[in-house]
Amino acid sequence: MKALIQRIKESKIVISGGTYSQTNAGLLIFLGIGETDSEIEIDYLIKKILNLRIFEDENNKMNLSVLDIKGDLMIVSQFTLYADTKKGNRPSFISAASPEKAKKMYNLFIEKINKSAHGMAVKSGVFAADMKVHLINDGPVTIFIDTDK
């Protein structure tokens, strides 16, 4: 499982010209699901993301987690995180999960992070929809997590 995490001031998902969901400050999580991923990777990734200390404390040091600041979470399905660009110019997505598996795992990730978020706002996009993602990066701070590494 792969996650590209961005610290944000705000985010918004637009589908078919209308706002589907939006958040205030917190994290935007682009989530890629691989063919071999399981619930074990979901649990690991949620714990890692929620406790990742990438927000500044009173001394301007990255020492606080999204849980500490009670930030919002936006989760967006992103199979292109599994792009293999080693050969040629057209990416291969052979390692990405099938749409059926990916949708099931994406929904399970959202369900589980909701339970772990201690009342923080958890929003998401729509699996496989054509979405326009608007965000204001904070920092910018962007972290990539791959559960296989």
Known catalytic residues? 80
Nearest to 91 by CA among 99, 100, 83: 83
Q: What's phi and psi for 122, nearest 5 deg? A: -120, 115
Q: Are 13 and 74 in contact (CB under 8 A)?
A: yes
Question: Where are the extended beta strands (E) located within 16-130?
Answer: 18-23, 26-32, 55-56, 62-64, 72-77, 122-124
Give CA–CA dist 44/55, Å, rounded.
20
